[in-house]
Structure 1
Amino acid sequence: MTFDDFRTLVRQTLRNPEQAAHWLIGQGWPMQVRWMALMLAVSVSGLLAYASTLLFPVPEGEAVAVFAISSQPLVLAGLQLIAIVLGAALMAGVGRLFGGQGRFEDALLLTVWIEVMLLIVQAAQIVLSLALPALAGILGILAIALFLWLTVQFTKALHGFTSAPKVLLVMFATLLVMGFVLSFFMAAMGLMPEMPQ
């Protein structure tokens, strides 16, 4: 993929994400290339998060776990890698439960591309934070909206679904179930914070 192809795909993703998803799937890239793209995306994301902590350090008393992780790019990249692979598995698996025909390989490619789109927003956010901090905050909210919108549209394209609201509803239900399951395992392993008496 050339840089011109990359720019064209970014514009196409914003204008018509389903068509962009079909183009990505149609390229037929081998699985090794998809894993390499994943590794590159999470590495760049970890470095951008680390650069952000260097440019905008958090005061000593206000450092929380998420900021502590951001200062460790390898840990952050590893967590993002797990999250993207899990997200791809859920995109493929849950979709197939509802009659879709999408494959994990294609879901992985699409979730990696969502990460790339978010990296572009993340880089723009860092630049804006230096000049216009208020706009950078708005860009962060837009990044969440972009993530949800692209996930819904890519899931539709992957499985051939037609209803975006239904896909969004199932996605939220899946997130709720995953949150419950993860909290159960964390509690069983003693990782949940103790409630004050």
Structure 2
Amino acid sequence: MTNGDLKSLLVLTLRDPAQVARLLIGLGLPMSARWMALLLAVSVSGLLAWLAGQIAPVPEELRTPFTDAISQPFAMAGMQFAAITVAAALMAAVGRVFGGQGRFEDALLLTVWIEVVLLVVQALQILMMLVLPALTSMLGIAAIVLFFWLTVQFTKELHGFTSSFKVFVGLIATAFALGFVLSILAASFGLLPEMPQ
């Protein structure tokens, strides 16, 4: 895939994400290539996050072990690798529970592509930090909206669903359920901060 093809695919992702999902799935990439694409994407994202941290460091009074961890490129990349893998597994598994036919292999490829698209937004955010810092937060909000929109559209195409609203509700419900489970695990391992008496 050339740079021109990549740019065209990025533009088409914004115009017709369903078609892009079909194109990506139709490539028939081997599983090793999909994992390699994920590794490359999260590595670039980790470096961009580190660069953003150098431009606009977290104030000392707001620093936590978590913010310290994500300021390290390798730690950030590792967390994103795990998060995207889990997201792909949930995209495939939850969809199949509701009658979808999507496979994990294709869900992984689609979630990796979402990460690639968000890398462009991440790079634009860094540019905004240098040129128009006041607009950086607005771009961050746009990235969140873009993430949910692409996830809904790709999930629909992956499983053959027709209702964007139902997929969105399922996405939110899954996110809440996952957050609940993770909070229980974090509490059991003593990772949550103690409440003041």
TM-score by length of 1: 0.97
What is the letter of the counterpart of residue 178 of structure 1? L
1:191 equivalenced with 2:191 (yes/no): yes
Matched, 1:49 2:49: yes
SS at match of 1:82: helix
Distance, in Å, in 2 between the alignment partners of 1:194 and 1:143 is 32
In structure 1, the gaps of 5 or more residues are none
For residues 135 and 47 of structure 1, what CA distance do their matches in structure 2 show?
22
Shift of 1:66: 4.3
Give the % identical residues. 61
Q: Which residue of 1 aligns with 2:122?
A: 122
Match of 1:137 in 2: 137
Alignment of 1:153-192 (within 5 A): 153-192=153-192
Alpha carbons 1:53, 1:67 under 8 Å: kept: no
Where do 5+ consecutive residues of structure 2 fail to align? none
Matched residue SS, 2:100: coil
Closer/same/farther in 2, CA of residues 149 and 40 from structure 1, 3 Å limit:
same
Structure 1 residues 60-79: Cα deviation after superposition (integer angstroms, max 9, x where no partner): 22323443123211111000
Measure, in 2, the Cα distance between the counterparts of 1:139 and 1:66. Answer: 23
Which residue identity is paired with 1:177? A
Tell me what 1:3 maps to.
Answer: 3
What TM-score, normalized by structure 2, do the two folds share?
0.97
Which amino acid is the alignment partner of residue 58 of structure 2? V
Q: Deviations over 1:81-136 (max 9, x none)?
A: 00000000000000000000000000000000000011100000100111111222
SS of 2:106's partner is helix
Matched residue SS, 2:139 = helix
SS of equivalent to 1:148: helix
Partner of 2:30: 30
Q: Distance in 1 between matches of 2:13 and 2:32?
A: 23
The 8 Å contact of residues 55 and 129 in structure 2, kept in 1 or not, is answered as no
Note the C-alpha offset of 1:158: 0.3
Asked if the contact 1:53–1:70 (Cα under 8 Å) also holds between the matched residues in 2, the reply is no
1:5 and 1:132 mapped to 2: Cα distance?
A: 30
CA distance in 2, matches of 1:20, 1:127: 27
3-state secondary structure, aligned to 1:196: coil
The residue matched to 2:102 in structure 1 has which SS? coil
2: CA distance, partners of 1:110 / 1:66: 27
CA–CA separation in structure 1 for the residues paired with 2:118 and 2:104: 21
Name the CA distance, whole Å, in 2 between partners of 1:192 and 1:69.
Answer: 16
- 1:193, 1:38 → 2: CA distance? 32
